[in-house]
Amino acid sequence: MRSPMAFKKECLIAGLIIGLIIGCMLSFIVMGREVDELRNQVSRLRAEIEQLRGVVPPLRTLAEKHGIHIGAAVEANLLRIKEYAEILSREFNVLTTENALKFERVHPERNVYSFSEADAIISFAEANGMRVRGHTLVWHNQLPEWVTRGNYSREEWISILRDHITTVVSRYRGRVYAWDVVNEAVDEDGSLRKTVWLQNIGPEYIELAFKWAHEADPQALLFYNDYGAEGLGVKSDAVYNLVKSLVEKGVPIHGVGLQMHVSTEYYPAPQDIAANIKRLSDLGLEIHVTEMDVRLRLPAKPADLVRQAEIYRDVLMVCLSSEKCTAFVMWGFTDRYSWIPGFFSGYGSALIFDENYDPKPAYYYILKSLMSR
């Protein structure tokens, strides 16, 4: 066991080295040298970083010292890949189920549940001392046909949703520490999204979902999760008003998830994210950054990789400066497996490790931010 002084000293040394490295990378970019030369330089620096592995702590160790969790969304089938599993367990202390707990995966037929993928992720997390965020109980996407094509009475819709939530949450009671109970219920214009749940149950489906989840696991932290509501604006006002009304009614909601799918072309101003986090935390709610990625136009240029790193750093720094922001989760960690290229044509390179599992500038900026206080 190292003494706190020794640890501090190591952090300081590592901080200086990393500062130097990033400085070198930046000056290379500023000097506008050839891309090949930059690549060689980056490879050499990476090799040096690898040698420093024993000195530079992994992200999760540093995050723990700030009292936050740092993590990534994962798919169960990828846990069998050695490099994927090694980086995950080394760097992160919270995992989110990217698709494994979505309605169509976990509850494909009315009387059939399929838990094997979620079980694998949760067992992996437990074996590696990580927490799990369960994503997601109520959403309008990735629903099975027996739900989307069903012709049920309102009572049946209520009973379908209640059974789903109760079964899934009860199974993982005490093992999933936070749930995205309701996902993306607010539309771009601030109105409630016209989902099957709204249309068949009515707006009270939201509070019912939180109530059933709380009954199934009273210790779990229950979140409302959405995109495009990270900074200030019509949608984030609507999300704020929604969760405020839930809190005022005594609905068991404990937090808000800010998804943070952004790009170097569009991202909310850090001061707006800070103001939003402040007003949400004034309601007594916790904040998790739940799905961060920063997509780039491909092929990614060195300057874009640095800009991307700055955006990751800025969001993390805003989170670290609020006591109520307690998790920083990315939507994956390696560009080898990311939803972006499949959904945004011409874009990719959105995560902090590249397709070969090498850390990108964003990784070092995050590391440096976590070392900075």
Given the residues 184, 207, 286, 310, the one annotated as active site: 184
- 230 versus 291: smaller Cβ distance to ligand G3I: 291
Distance CA 371, CA 369 (A): 5
Active site residue 91: no
CB of 342 to ligand G3I, least distance (A): 7
CB of 291 to ligand G3I, least distance (A): 5
- Report the residue closest to ligand G3I, judged by CB: 339
CB of 7 to ligand G3I, least distance (A): 36
CB burial of residue 285 (10 Å; 0-12, 13-18, 19+): buried
CB of 298 to ligand G3I, least distance (A): 18
Distance CA 177, CA 251 (A): 18
Cβ-based neighbours of 1, under 8 Å, separated by 6 or more: none
- 108 versus 202: smaller Cβ distance to ligand G3I: 108
- My answer on whether omega of the bond before 218 falls inside 30° of 0, hence cis, is no
Q: What is the DSSP string of 1-56?
A: ---HHHHHHHHHHHHHHHHHHHHHHHHHHHTT--HHHHHHHHHHHHHHHHHTTTTS
Active site residue 291: yes
Given the residues 291, 310, 323, 355, the one annotated as active site: 291
- 99 versus 263: smaller Cβ distance to ligand G3I: 99
- 104 versus 215: smaller Cβ distance to ligand G3I: 104
Distance CA 160, CA 366 (A): 42
Which chain residues interact with ligand G3I by CB under 6 A?
98-99, 141-142, 183, 227, 259, 291, 339
Cβ-based neighbours of 101, under 8 Å, separated by 6 or more: 118, 134, 135, 136, 137, 168
Q: Active-site residue numbers? A: 184, 291
